[in-house]
Amino acid sequence: MLALGKLLDLTLAGREPTEKIQLTAEGTRLHWLTEGALEITPPGAADCGLDLLLSAGIHGNETAPIELLDRLVQGVARGELRPRARILFLLGNPDAMRRGERYVEHDINRLFCGRHEESSGFEALRAAELERLATSFFSKPGRTRLHYDLHTAIRGSKIEQFALYPYREGRAHSQRELARLKAAGIEAVLLQNKTGITFSSFTYAHLEAEAFTLELGKARPFGQNGIVKLDRLETLLEQLIEGREAESEEDGGLDGMQLFTVAREIIKHSEGFRLHLPDDIENFSELPVGYLLAEDIADTRWVIEEEGARIIFPNPKVKNGLRAGILVVPANL
């Protein structure tokens, strides 16, 4: 296997390869760009016109997606996967990955779309670098651009695998991309209704890519992800890489997929913030109308008013000014 197929091993060891560019027997080019960043270019005649960005490890303790990308990289390096797409593999936060922690100082996935300029430290610099890498990768005109940012969640979920679809004013949701997610085993999609500050929000709003944050189960340490079922997603990614994806049926192809939209975000304003939920509550747990969800200073209260409201990403430990949870409600396209 080509040495650059050991992207994960090199990254976890904090080492750089001796050779930055290597070719497979079929002529696929592997190019180490910087720590945790590997660009794959197919032979010219094989190129199908897709630019595919696959990122994981934005949170360093979310290891199942990292292991998935490692399998794909190794498949390319061994010649078992023969790319027809250009691919950029990004391991987002190498320092946190080495520590087995979500982040070191700042949550990188809250530092995109310019927010890194308001922060400091390693993670702010890394967010800026990831933006530069993505911008360069998606700079070729006339190509299809697709970004999957792969995550696992802090807690369990009533809906185990779901996607967040970013927002940009005036841009319609893609039925084809939603059908593609359904084929990959994604059970629900949250249609966001304002521009975000995550990595997928950056590539969607600023780089014209179709982009999604994929939540794929619960975060576990390396080597303990047997319970996280990623077979259908892995199959889709292999098909995209090799340019052999079956056509998805766009009309009527979303039967069974649940769609949600954001009703409200719960913002923590002070250390007096209190979230009135059990510590082990699962994502997509339904809350009854009239339920007192949270309280903060100055008599700020969040009371459930929406029928069918569910909570996702509840986290009272976030820093002041950040989102401590999202209330979502069922939606239609």
Of 58, 68, 83, 89, nearest to 164 by C-alpha is 58
Q: Tokens 């027997």 label which residue?
A: 25
Give me the active site residues, please.
215
Instruction: Give the bridge partners for 40, in sequence order.
Output: 30, 87
Q: 160 — phi, psi (to 5°)? A: -70, -45
The secondary element (H helix, E strand) that includes residue 137 is helix 122-137
C-alpha 315: how far from chain center: 18
Please give the C-alpha separations between residue 44 and each of 22, 28, 40, 84, 309, in angstroms, as whole numbers. Answer: 16, 9, 12, 9, 50
Angle at 207 between CA 108 and CA 323, to 5 degrees: 35
Q: Which segments are annotated as binding site? A: 59, 62, 151
DSSP 7-69: HHHHHHHT---S-SEEE-TT--EEEEEETTEEEEE--GGG--SEEEEEEE-SSTT-HHHHHHH
Of 245, 262, 88, 241, nearest to 177 by C-alpha is 245
Please give the C-alpha separations between residue 118 and each of 198, 245, 324, in angstroms, as whole numbers. Answer: 15, 41, 20
Contact 65, 150 (CB under 8 A): yes
8-state DSSP, 92: -
Q: Which segments are annotated as binding site for Zn(2+)? A: 59, 62, 151
N-term to C-term CA, the chain = 45
